[in-house]
Chains A and B, each alone.
Chain A
Amino acid sequence: MSDGRASESRVIEELLAFIGADGADEDAFNRMALAVFAHQFEHNQPYRRFAVQRGRTARTVKSWRDVPAVPISAFKELTLTCRPPEACERVFMTSGTTQGVRGKSHHPTMAVWDRSMTLNFRRRFMQDRERLRMGILFPTEEAMPNSSLARYLALAMRTFGAEGSRNFLGDGGLDIAAVTEDLARAEQAGEPYSLLGASYSFVHLMDALDGRRFALPEGSRILDTGGFKGQSREMEADAFYDQLSATFGVPRRSCINMYGMTELSSQFYDDGNEACPSVKSGPHWIRSRVVNPLTGEEVPKGTVGVLVHHDLAHFNCASAILTEDAGIAVEGGFRLLGRADGADAKGCSLAVEEFLKAARV
C-alpha cells in the first residue's frame, strides 16, 4: 500500500493547488481529472471492476467525459474507497437508506473536502463579507459525526460565523424560543444575520412561528438545502421562498439553495431564488453533464436528463457519479428538477418509491 499512499499524497497536493487556483480551463480540468481517475482506477478495486466492465481503463480514458460515472446506489452496495475504510479519517453516510443500508463516502483526510467547501462557500454565500452571525437549523457535528451536512454547517460556522453564531437544533428538537430571540435581537441590532439549515427545518420553524414575522436587516441571508425528504410537509419551491421571504424579511434573491450530496466533496449554489427553479452551478473543480440515465449519453442541451457530476475533490471514492436527480443544462449551470424516479407513476403497479416508504414506517 505504500504506492497507494504515495499516489494519494501526490493527488491531494495537486488537488489542493488546483482548487486554490483562480479557475481551470478544459485542458487543466482534463489533466487533473485523468490524474484522479488513474489514482482511483489503481487503488479503488470495486471502482476498477466497474470501470473495466464498462470497458474503461486508465489507458483508454482520454477525456474527463469518458470517466465512468458510478450510480449513487453503488455507494450503498460497494465500499468505494482507495484507502482502506479503517484508515480513513472520516466516513459520511447518507440519511436515506435502502432497506437499512446507507450510502458511505470515505475520506482519508478532510483537508480537500474542507478546502473545497470553504473556498466555494466564501464566494457563493458570504460574497463580500468576512463573517456573519449564523443561526444553524441543524444538529452539531458532534451530534451527527457521519453527516456531511452537519460537517458543512459546522465548518461554515467555525470559519465564517460571527460571535454569537450557534446551532438551534439539539436533543430537544428545534429551540423555537432561542431562534425567535436571536432573530428579534438581530432585527433590533440592525446587524445582518443568516439562517442556515435543512429545507424541512425551515418549514418546521415557519410552522412553529405561526405567522409571526421578522424584518431582518439588509444583507441578511438564508441558506436551505436538501428539500423536505418526508421530514416536513412538502412545499412548492415558489411557495417556500415566498414564505421564507415574508417570514424573515429576506428577499428571495438572498435566499440561497445549496445542492450537495454525501457522495460528493463539493457543493452547488444558486444566486438566490427570485425565480424557480434557479440555476445552480459549482466551482471550477466540479463539472456536470446531463445524460439519458439508461444510455449514459449526453442529452441535447435544453432537454431534461439525469445529472452526472464530476467532482475532482472526491478523490478517494469515485469522482464521477450518476445521480438520480433530473436536471436541464442551461447557460451558466443547470436547473435542478427534482428526483427522476417513479413518483409520477402512471399505472397502479406498486413502484419502488412507495414500497420503500411503506417499509420505513
Chain B
Amino acid sequence: MEREVAGYLPGLPADQVDWRTLTFARGNEALEVAVPVLTDAQVAALAARVRDAARRTLKTRMVADIAATIDRAVARLLDRDDPWRRKAERLLPLVTGYDAEMVRLGLTGYLKTFRRPELQKFLVEDFANPSILDDFQPMPKGGFAKAFGPELLLHVWAGNVPGLPLWSLISGLLVKAGTVGKVPTAEPLFAGWFAQILAEVDPDLADCLAIVWWKGGDEAQELIWLAQADTVVAYGGNDALAAIRGRVPITTRFLPYGHKISFGMVARAALDAGKASMVANRAAYDVVRYDQQGCYSPQLFFVERGGRVSPREFAGYLASELAAYETRFPRRALSMAEAGSVASWRNVEEMKSFAQPTRTLLGDPAGAWSVAYADAPEGLSPCGLNRTVTVVAVDRLEDAVPGLAPHRAFLQTVGVAASPEELHRLAGLLGAVGVTRICALGRMTAPEAGWHHDGRFNLLDLVTLTEIEQSAEQAADAFARYVD
C-alpha cells in the first residue's frame, strides 16, 4: 500500500518521532498516511525552534519579500508538471474522496488567489499601507505605528476541503508569525506539503513553521500547544471550539471560525425562460463543489414567485442540473453516518410532503442528489448536505429575511441572482441580519482574493500595533544631541 508522511517538523529527525497511521481508501486504491505523535518535550522544542527562527529571519524580512516567496511556492503548486502538484492531484482525491477533476479545478482556482498580485490585494484590504508590517509608519493622527504579528501563531484546522488550511497559514506568514498548524485527520497532507515547498524555495524560512497533528479533542496535546501559542486560530463546530476556548490561556488571543450556513437567492428578474436554466446551472455548481462541505456552500435557495419560471419549476431545473453534474463530477462515497444524515433529511422531507401536499421531494433515495421544494418559508434549516438542497418559494425575497435573523451567528455567504437595484437593497437587509458575504451564484465556493472570512480582518486580527505617540517624539527632541 502506498504510504505518505504528513506533517513538517523542522529539527526533529523522523526516527525520533512516534508515528500513527491513518488509512484512506477510495475504490480499489488505498493510502496510508503517517501522522506524528509528539512528546511534551518535542512539542516544547519545536515551539522554541519555530519561535526563534521566526524572530531571527521572518521578522526581519520585508513583507513584499515574504509575498514573493509564497508566490514562488504557489507557482510550484499551480504547475501541473511539478512533482508536488502531481502528488496533490493524485492523493487528495484519494484522501478526501472528492472527484479528481473537481479537486484539480478547485486547486487551480483556489491557488490562483494566492499569487503575488492577489497577495498584494490581500494586504491592502487590511492595511492601507502594508509597510506598517516592516517599519514604523507615520499615522494620520500623528505619531508612528508598526504592526507586529504573533511570535507563535497556532492554527487548529478542521475539515476535508482540500487546501483550506492555506488561508490562515498564508495570513500568518504575511504578518511574519512563527507558525504551527495542526492538520485535520480528514485531510492531513496538504499543509505539510506546502510547508516543505516553502522550505525548498526559501530555505531561510525552513524553521519558521511546523505542521503537526494530534487527534481532535486530545486534551493533553491541545493543552501543551495552546500554552505555547500567542494567538490561536481554530476551525470547527461550536462544541469543539468551546472546548478549545476553555483551554486557551486568558492572555492568548483566540480567533474561532465556526461552522456556517449559506444559501442562495433568486429574484424573479432572473427567472425568465432563457436565464433561469443558466442560473440553475450555477446554483447546482455551488451545491456540487465539495459536496456542500464548505461553510460557503448553499444549503437552500429562496426563489421569488412571479417570474416566467415558477419556484417549483426552478426546483425542477436545479434537479436536472444536479443530475447532469453527477455525470461530470460524481459525488464522493458517503460514510454510513453521512448517508444517515442524508436519509434522515430525506425522510423528514418525505413525511412533510405527506402532511403538506404542496411540498415535494425530487430525486431518488439511492441517487446522488435531492431537491426538496417548500411552498412557503418556514424558517432556516440546514439540509442533509452532500448534494441535498431545499428550494423555498417566497412572494418577495425580503420575505425570507425575518426567518434568518434568529440564526445570525451561523450565517455566512449568500449567492444572489438579482438586478443591480435589488442586489444592493437585499445586501442591506442581509448584512443587517448577519450575512457577511454576498456573491454571484456559481462563485459561492470560490471567495475572491482578500475576502474577509466571516466578515473579519484576516490579517489585522492577527497583529498588535506598537504606537509611538507624538508626545514621545516631541519629548525626544528635548534630548537630542543637537538640541538648542
Contact = CB atoms under 8 A, between A and B. Distances in A.
Interface in B273-315: 290, 292-295, 297, 299
A175 interface: no
Contacts of A239: none
Contacts of A98: 348
A71 B348 CA distance: 8
Contact of A77 (B290, B299, B338, B351): B351
Contacts of B225: none
Contacts of A78: 351, 354-355
Contacts of B365: 294-296
B45 interface: no
Contacts of A53: 354
B411 to A, nearest CB: 9
Given A73-B351, A99-B379, A349 B341 contact: no
Contact of B410 (A322, A342, A358): A358
A350 B341 contact: no
Given A78-B351, A322-B347, A346 B341 contact: no
Contacts of A50: 354
A349 B354 contact: no
A322 to B, nearest CB: 7
A358 B408 CA distance: 11
A85 interface: no
A344 interface: yes
Interface in B342-385: 342-348, 350-352, 354-355, 365-366, 379, 381-385
A53 B347 CA distance: 13
What is the interface residue range for chain B against chain A? 35 or more
B345 A306 contact: no
Contacts of A296: 365
A305 B336 contact: yes
B465 to A, nearest CB: 30
A293 B339 CA distance: 7
B351 A346 contact: no
Given A71-B343, A347-B161, A350-B410, A304 B259 contact: no
Interface in A315-361: 322, 324, 326, 339-352, 354-355, 357-358
A16 interface: no
A340 B260 contact: no
A49 interface: yes
A335 B261 CA distance: 34
Contacts of A94: none
Contacts of B294: 347-349
B347 A347 contact: no
Given A347-B160, A349-B299, A342 B259 contact: no
Nearest to A344: B337
Contacts of B340: 293, 306, 324, 326, 339-342
B33 to A, nearest CB: 15
B144 interface: no
A118 interface: no
A162 to B, nearest CB: 42
Contact of B355 (A77, A306, A324, A350): A77
B347 A348 contact: no
B260 A71 contact: no
Nearest to A339: B340
B354 A342 contact: no
Given A73-B347, A340-B337, A348 B354 contact: no
Nearest to A292: B339
Interface residues of A, number: 41
Contacts of A99: 379, 381
Contacts of A73: 344, 347-348, 351
B186 interface: yes
A259 B255 CA distance: 41
A304 B366 CA distance: 17
Nearest to B334: A294
Contacts of B160: 346-347
A78 to B, nearest CB: 6
B155 to A, nearest CB: 14
Given A71-B347, A349-B299, A326 B337 contact: yes
Given A77-B348, A78-B351, A99-B379, A348 B186 contact: no
Contacts of B239: 354, 357
Given A77-B352, A296-B365, A355-B382, A349 B339 contact: no
A40 to B, nearest CB: 15
Given A50-B354, A77-B352, A295-B366, A349 B297 contact: yes
A91 interface: no
Nearest to B259: A350
B257 interface: yes
A49 B350 CA distance: 12
Interface in A25-81: 46, 49-50, 53, 71, 73-74, 76-78
Nearest to A343: B337
B342 A294 contact: yes
B393 interface: no
A232 B354 CA distance: 36
B335 interface: yes
Contacts of A305: 336
B402 interface: no
A353 to B, nearest CB: 8
B186 A346 contact: yes
A347 B292 contact: yes
Among B336, B354, B383, residue most surrounded by chain A Cβ atoms (within 10 Å): B336
Interface of A: 46, 49-50, 53, 71, 73-74, 76-78, 98-99, 292-296, 304-306, 322, 324, 326, 339-352, 354-355, 357-358
23 contacts: A74-B347, A77-B348, A78-B355, A99-B381, A293-B336, A294-B366, A296-B365, A306-B343, A326-B340, A340-B339, A341-B337, A341-B344, A346-B186, A347-B160, A347-B385, A348-B159, A348-B294, A349-B262, A349-B294, A349-B297, A350-B382, A352-B341, A354-B238
Given A49-B354, A354-B238, A355-B381, 8 more contacts: A50-B354, A71-B351, A73-B344, A293-B344, A342-B340, A349-B292, A352-B344, A352-B381
